Chain A
Amino acid sequence: MATTHGTSLRRWLMSLPPLEWTVQRLRELLIGSLKCGPIPQHIAFVMDGNRRYARNHKLETVEGHHLGFEALARVLEVCYKSGVRVVTIYAFSIENFKRSRWEVDALMDMAKTKLVQMSQHGELFDRYGASVRILGDRSLVREDVIREVDRAVDMTAHNEQAVLNVCFPYTSREEITHSIRETVRDFSRAPEKPRHTKRPFSESHIQRNIRSRQLSSVTEEDRPRRASMTFTRDDGTNINSDAESTEISDQDFLDSASTLQPASSQTSHSTSPILNPTSTTTALASSLSPHSAQHLLDPETLTEAHLTKNTYTAAAPPLDLLIRTSGVYRLSDFMLWQCHEHTELRFLDCLWPEFDLWTFLPVLVEWQWRQRRERSGKGAEAGGVDTAIKVA
């Protein structure tokens, strides 16, 4: 490690117990007092600048990544202690696979050792009530790393107080594509209708009952005028004879449907759309596109919410703040879908390994300040916004 004279002196000073204790208290105090105001519920970090930091300090690239990881630990501590619920970090982009093979392998190894360490300290995570989730395309990661990932995720899955989203091999375009694909899949599949527990009445029985009643009414009423109404009676018998065949064909259809959708139970499956009031919309849809299979959702009902539901961050609250370090003013394919609305983007000039409470604090306080001002100004603004929406 490159230790210049100044840093080693500082290091020595900081390791003095009383000073260390004071700094520690001070931090706790600051974090505690931050909690008095509004706190962003979801923060995303782009941890950029590890390599440049390593280059500037004449370290190895991997060492830079290690320092970056330590910075992450510091930031996470601040976030969770101050009450941020979800932290999303951009750990590894799909594009990063294009880097040198050696570096990619080293990064993967680092991820693995950190995950192994993490799973050794499960209860530490429990202290923070934090659970780990991995977002991204798992199919690109090495087998042994995936195993560690799964172990860490499973171990912390029961914690609900805070979430750490690690975007592992992730790009936002891949995420949006994934979301669109899943949504299309949802819509091309018959929806899982809320199945009631077994009901004592069978629909086919009711249907048969109705038919037989129609039949008997036809036959009974028309008996006196049999000669004039042969046609109808013929029709009636036709129905009668057809009843068996339609029954069978319905059954066939049911079978084919149930092979498509094994979860459906035959008794509650509607054989006729008219008899089932809940299926009116699907009947409408199928009448609009006659050759499509029954019970598909109408694509026109698809909204943003469906797509949002299928993104990786569906469970997280909306993104409040996105911080990118190292003076790069791009999103670089991160959280495009999530941050394009009201998220405040902050681009900082410091490199990620240098990022700590003292650089994070001004950002957080400014966010709080703005939030408080907006909240106080909201009452006055609400009217204007309302009319603007109406006009639009």
Chain B
Amino acid sequence: MVGVRQQAAFHSDRDANGRPLSASEREKLLKPYLPAAPKTQATAQPQQNGKQAKLFTHKPRVRPAIRHAIHYLLFTIIHTVFSVYIRVRQVYHAVVDRVLAILYYHHRTPELIKRDVKNLSKVPQHLSVILQLPPEGGKKDRLETLVNDACEVAAWSACAGVPMLSIYERTGRAYAMHRIDVKAKANGVAGILKSSLPHLHRRIERNLISYYGATSPLKPTVSLRAPHLPSYSPPHSPEPSSNGTTESSRPHITILLISASDGRQTLVDLTRTLASMAQDQKLQPADISAELIDAEISESVMGEPDLLICFGDRVVLDGYPPWQVRLTEIYGVQDHVGGVEYHVFLRGLYRFAKAEMRFGR
């Protein structure tokens, strides 16, 4: 970085007396701050003079070594200090997380969730979450945990009045019936895989019942969908609208399940189709526009979500569909290790509404 005086000179493009700078003057200003010129000629020269020159040319050995040692020492110190710092930060965040988790807990009561989001100026029309398949070797069954998380998020969104929820999970295993292969069955994870959409729908429905009660007229209806699979929304016939509430008065939530294959792969598939059309002379490459792609992609997968919540410890998209995240607000909690938790969800909604979150309700 250049010094203050030089900086001012560059800023106004004038020297201290107010005369405009010429190109060479500017270079003179910068000279001391530049790295050494690449030593391509310097190494070539001494060899011409032979042995004698070699004897007398001083080749710096000690100084670079010392410099390297100092750098390495400093590097170690920085990282030691930093890892202490990051541990402290992690602890701090963990404490904040715990406190928030206690203060804001939903107690499986839709009214509490409603009260939490009541003061928000806006609620995302399309919420998206990134779930992660827990690593193998945990205490619980991985897929079971995943399905549980999905059900919980679905219930919170339904209570918060989000009309559209998309759940991204990289492998797409919790629901991808059509992607099961023999290997997966052999690995013994086939229990839930057999299920696919109807099963997950049943689970979500059961979870909602645990929130709302079985007969509540406010219980939202759910339709479950995955790209390239027909939408699954069973008839809500068992309880005909006898008690005055019509079907339309009940909130409805659409849940979309997406996986990594709906990201880049979809764009590749689209390109394949377009390429074969172009080969058959049905389309000129010049006709391909962003609007065309957008229309195709949003029809076959989904539109742009308003808010994306990552439940990991840092913000990594991890294969999330690239085309759609253009203007999406991305939310992740720093150093969060607790997985899918209600307060993270709520903080995401607060961020989206640009609202301050205060301790206590």
- Give the number of residues in B that approach A within 8 Å (Cβ atoms): 81
Question: Across the interface, do B288 and A177 meet the contact criterion of CB distance under 8 Å?
Answer: yes
Binary contact track A293-334/B, C-beta < 8 Å → 1, others 0: 100100110111011000000000000000000000111110
Q: A24-B1, A177-B293, A365-B79 in contact; A299/B275 too (CB < 8 A)?
A: yes
Complex partner residue of A124 from B30, B67, B136, B279, CB under 8 angstroms: B30
A296/B264 in contact, CB under 8 A: no
Kindly provide the distance from the CB of B276 to the nearest chain A CB, expressed in whole angstroms.
Answer: 4
Instruction: Return the contact of B285 from the options A129, A181, A390 (Cβ within 8 A).
Output: A181
With a CB–CB cut-off of 8 A, which chain A residues contact B351? 329
- In the assembled complex, A32 has its CB within 8 A of some CB on chain B: yes
User: What is the minimal beta-carbon distance from A65 to any residue of chain B, in angstroms?
Assistant: 12
Contacts A127-B37, A369-B86 known; A384 to B265 CB distance under 8 Å? Answer: no
A121 to B318, CA, bound (A): 41
* Contact B279 A299, beta carbon cutoff 8 Å: yes
Give complex CA distance A369, B313 in Å: 14
Cβ B187 vs Cβ A366 within 8 A: no
Are B286 and A181 in touch, CB under 8 angstroms?
yes
Q: Which residue of B lies closest to A94 (CB)?
A: B290
Tell me if B78 is interfacial: C-beta within 8 Å of chain A.
Answer: yes
CB distance from B199 to the nearest CB of A (A): 18
Residue of A36, A180, A340 near B288 (CB, 8 A) is A180
Contact B1 A77 (CB under 8 A): yes
Contact yes or no, A336 B325, CB < 8 A: yes
* CB pair B268 A304 closer than 8 Å: yes
Q: Kindly state whether residue B148 has any CB partner on chain A within 8 Å.
A: no
B316 near A342 with CB under 8 A, answer yes
List residues of chain A with CB within 8 A of the CB of B202: none
The residue that B71 contacts in the complex, of A35, A185, A336, with Cβ under 8 A, is A35
> What separation, in Å, do the CA atoms of A181 and B267 have in the docked complex?
12
How far, in Å, is A276 (CB) from chain B's closest CB?
21
Determine how close the nearest CB of chain A comes to the CB of B226; give it in whole angstroms.
Answer: 15
Minimum C-beta distance from B59 to chain A (A): 20
Is the Cβ of A37 less than 8 Å from the Cβ of B79? Answer: yes
Identify the closest chain B residue to A186 (Cβ): B275
**Which of chain A's residues have a CB closer than 8 A to the CB of B326?**
172-173, 331-333, 336
User: B4 near A11 (CB under 8 angstroms)?
Assistant: yes
Q: Find chain B residues with CB under 8 A from A357 CB.
A: 1
Contact indicator per residue, chain B 186-216, by CB within 8 Å of chain A (1) or not (0): 0101000000000000000000000000000
In the complex, what's the smallest C-beta–C-beta distance from A170 to chain B, in angstroms? 13
**Cα-based distance from A356 to B1 in the complex (angstroms):** 9
Picked from A299, A347, A366, the residue with its CB within 8 Å of the CB of B315 is A347
B271 interface hit (Cβ, 8 Å): yes
By the criterion CB–CB under 8 Å, are B183 and A121 in contact?
no
For A187, give the chain B residue with the smallest CB separation: B275
B34–A368 touching, CB < 8 Å:
no
- Is the CB of B320 closer than 8 A to any CB of chain A? yes
> In the bound complex, do residue B35 and residue A127 qualify as a contact, i.e. CB atoms below 8 Å apart?
yes
Main SS of chain A's interface residues?
Answer: helix
A388 CA to B318 CA in the complex, in Å?
15
Q: Which residue of B lies closest to A31 (CB)?
A: B71
Contact status A27-B1, CB under 8 Å: yes
Interface contact A129-B38, CB-CB below 8 Å: yes
Docked pose: A390 CA to B173 CA in angstroms: 12
Complex Cα distance, B135 from A264, in Å, reads: 54
Query: Would B72 and A33 count as touching, CB distance under 8 A?
Result: yes
Which of A32, A66, A339 contacts B317 (CB under 8 A)? A339
Among B35, B264, B294, the residue within 8 A (CB) of A81 is: B35
Nearest residue in B to A342 (C-beta to C-beta)? B316
Contact yes or no, B315 A336, CB < 8 A: no
A66 near B293 with CB under 8 A, answer: no
24 A-B Cβ contacts within 8 A? A20-B4, A29-B74, A30-B74, A66-B11, A173-B293, A173-B326, A176-B290, A176-B322, A176-B323, A185-B278, A187-B278, A188-B278, A292-B279, A307-B264, A330-B328, A331-B330, A337-B264, A340-B319, A343-B317, A365-B78, A365-B82, A368-B79, A369-B83, A384-B135
Known interface pairs A30-B74, A392-B173; 20 further A-B residue pairs with C-beta atoms within 8 A, sorted by A's residue number: A29-B71, A30-B78, A32-B74, A36-B72, A127-B38, A184-B278, A187-B275, A292-B280, A296-B279, A307-B271, A331-B330, A342-B318, A343-B317, A347-B315, A362-B82, A365-B79, A387-B187, A388-B171, A391-B184, A392-B172
Which residues of B are interface residues toward A (Cβ below 8 A)? Answer: 1, 3-5, 7, 10-11, 23, 26-27, 30, 33-35, 37-38, 67, 70-75, 78-79, 82-83, 86, 133, 135-137, 171-173, 179, 183-184, 187, 189, 263-265, 267-268, 270-276, 278-280, 283, 285-286, 288-290, 293-294, 314-323, 325-331, 351
Residue ranges of A at the interface with B (Cβ–Cβ < 8 Å): 11, 14-15, 20, 24, 27, 29-30, 32-37, 66, 70, 74, 77, 81, 117, 120-121, 124, 126-129, 172-174, 176-177, 180-185, 187-188, 289, 291-293, 296, 299-300, 302-304, 306-307, 329-333, 336-337, 339-347, 356-357, 362, 365-366, 368-370, 372, 384, 387-388, 390-392
